[in-house]
Amino acid sequence: MTNAGAASAALNGSMPKPAVVSKTSAFVSTSLRRAQKLCGHYCYPSNLSKCCACEDLRPIADGYECYVDGLGYTSTAARDDGYCPVCNTKNYDRWMARVSRETEKKRLEDAERERSEAERALAAEKDRQNAVEKTAGRVTYSNGNVYVGDLLDGRPHGVGRMEYFSDSDDTAIYYEGTWAQGKHEGRGKKKYVDDNWYEGEWMDGMMHGRGVFHMNEVDILDGIFEEDEFCG
Ligand SMILES: [Zn+2]
Ligand SMILES: [Zn+2]
């Protein structure tokens, strides 16, 4: 029990790190919770009655089989490598490093998403302005989409067909039907990749009302849709 004893002794000392770290992102939990166990040591809250070190009944060895962050599975891990971040400050440091990596990654992804959304919105507005004089006809958009039909204020409005070269999730092939202010509204058929298509009622760009969705010609949803969801 010398190693575990040493670990316990270390644990009996003051926790070197604060229990709660400032919250930086709603998507990454950055608060490290801890609970006092029956053995008297603090550990991450779980249904184990004792802390990681006291629950560890493995015989003493030179190395231990364990998954180690950034290293993978190894048989040469330290005894406390598998312990929770509360019981093992190395784990805590790795955990904190991972949290900050993930937070930074998410921040970059958010920034990139915002940037491309702003770019798309700007391009869409330019396209709209270029077509603003037309009441009907053919419009080729900067993203490659081609529209033929009625227009109002530079947007599809009335009856028309859009051939998609790209859309938000790149699944649309074409839409043919009625439009209002650039969105599917009324009745129309939209064809997607993988032989999926919907024909029926639309509202504010969403499948809404009575319609039929064909999925790969195998599953057919025939009934009422509400805001893109099939309700039966
Ligand atoms: Zn623990
Ligand atoms: Zn303990």
Q: Decide: 165 and 143 in contact? Cβ < 8 Å.
A: yes
Q: Which residues of the chain have a pLDDT value below 50?
A: 1-28
* Residue 195, pLDDT score: 87
DSSP 8-class letter at 20: B
Ligand number nearest to the C-alpha of 80? 1
Q: What is the pLDDT of residue 169?
A: 72
> Minimum-distance ligand to the CA of 38?
2
Q: Are 178 and 159 in contact (CB under 8 A)?
A: yes
Question: What's residue 5's pLDDT?
Answer: 41
pLDDT of residue 155: 96
| Residues flanking ion ligand 1, Cβ below 5 Å | 43, 51-52, 84, 87
**Amino acid 92: pLDDT:** 80
Q: Give the pLDDT score at 85.
A: 86
Distance in Å, CA 87 to ligand 2 centroid: 9
Domains and CATH numbers, the chain: 2-103 (no CATH), 131-230 (2.20.110)
pLDDT at res. 153: 95
Widest CA span of the chain, in angstroms?
85
Residue 190 and residue 196 in contact, taking contact as beta carbons nearer than 8 Å: no
Q: From the CB of residue 113, how many other CB atoms can be counted at a distance below 10 Å?
A: 10
Is the pTM higher than 0.85? The answer reads: no
Q: What ligand has the least distance to the C-alpha of 8?
A: 2
Q: Residue 30: its pLDDT value, please?
A: 55
What per-residue confidence (pLDDT) applies to 146? Answer: 96
Ligand 1 center–CA 67 separation, angstroms: 16
pLDDT of residue 29: 52
Q: In this structure, which ligand is nearest to the CA of 83?
A: 1
* Number of the ligand closest to the Cα of 35: 1
Q: Which ranges constitute the DSSP H helices of the chain? A: 2-12, 52-55, 89-130
